[in-house]
Amino acid sequence: MKDGELVLLYSKDESYIVSAGSKDMHTKSGVIKLKLLKKIKFGDEIKTHLGKTFIIMKPTIIDILQKKARRMPQIIMPKDIGMILSITGVGPGDNVVDAGAGSGFLAIMIANYVRPGKVVTYEKNKKFLKVVKGNIAASGLAKFIKLKQKNVMKGFDEKNVDLVTLDLENSENVVKYAYKALRPGGWLAVYSPYIEQVITIIKEIRKRNFSPPKIFENIVREWQSEVYSRPKTVGLMHTGFITFARKMGK
């Protein structure tokens, strides 16, 4: 593998994202000589000096985000990102506008699907910008993502995009700008942490030539099966609401 290529070192109880050819890495299970990775293929094994075995895998975007990305504000969870991708149907070559960037997770995940299309993500908070830039760089998708420091309450620069995603306070005030930015048939997806915001979003959508809005609460529960099977997740599984609408006019 190439010098500097990202690699997932995986075992059942321990895993790391590393760069091939880097300096030796010290882990709780011993030292791993990362220079050896340049002579090894995916699927092979590498051992620490204490004998712990790791499988060498090609990391997915989820692996990279989980292991290397930093989180500042609350992120949109993978289950909700999956719903946005499946309902809107965006794919390779599509162009997307995202606001606000937060930690950049949504923009990165969408960029992984629409490349060679582009995602333009807006963030006005200076505290988040450094984190977003670092996460985008770590993802390896920087050429498909453009980060803009701008207040979207004043509108978007883009036109004829395939999808606009909104995850910010007072999103209802941005619906009119999203409508202008979308191409005919393009999708609006708004993430809301509470139902009161959904109501205000729907009012704004109905003022414009959108399809009837659809609202989803996406609840996913993981199970575990050891001695016996039972839900792994207990308690509150709600993360938020997602409102979808499609632009019907020009």
pLDDT tens readout for residues 171-213: 999 999 999 999 999 999 999 999 999 999 999 999 999 999 9
Per-residue pLDDT at 236: 60
Higher-scoring residue by pLDDT: 92, 68: 92
For residue 160 the two structure tokens come to 């004829």
Whether the per-residue pLDDT at 109 is higher than 90: the answer is yes
For the residues 50-73, what does the mean pLDDT come to? 91
Report the distance separating Cα 239 and Cα 99, nearest Å: 18
Domains (range + CATH), the chain: 6-59 (3.10.330.20), 64-246 (3.40.50.150)
The answer to which of 111-115, 122-126, 194-198, 241-245 has the lowest mean pLDDT is 122-126
Residue 206 CA, chain-centre distance (Å), reads 28
What is the CB neighbour count within 10 angstroms for residue 35? Answer: 13
Per-residue burial over 67-98, b = 16 or more CB atoms within 10 Å of its CB, e = otherwise = ebbeebbebbbeebbebbbeebebeeebbbbb
Whether the per-residue pLDDT at 30 is higher than 90: the answer is yes
Per-residue pLDDT at 73: 62
Write down the residue that tokens 């609401």 correspond to.
241
Identify the band that residue 234 occupies on the pLDDT scale cut at 50, 70 and 90.
Answer: low
For the residues 137-144, what does the mean pLDDT come to? 95
Per-residue pLDDT at 131: 92
Per-residue pLDDT at 74: 72
Identify the band that residue 81 occupies on the pLDDT scale cut at 50, 70 and 90.
Answer: very high
Write down the residue that tokens 């002579």 correspond to.
39
Per-residue pLDDT at 232: 81
For the residues 37-60, what does the mean pLDDT come to? 94
pLDDT tens readout for residues 217-229: 998 888 888 888 9
Cα–Cα separations (whole angstroms), residue 137 to 6, 134, 145: 12, 5, 10
Q: Cα–Cα–Cα angle for 181, 183, 186, nearest 5°? A: 100
Q: What share of the chain is helix, strand, coil (3-state, %, to 5)?
A: 30, 30, 40
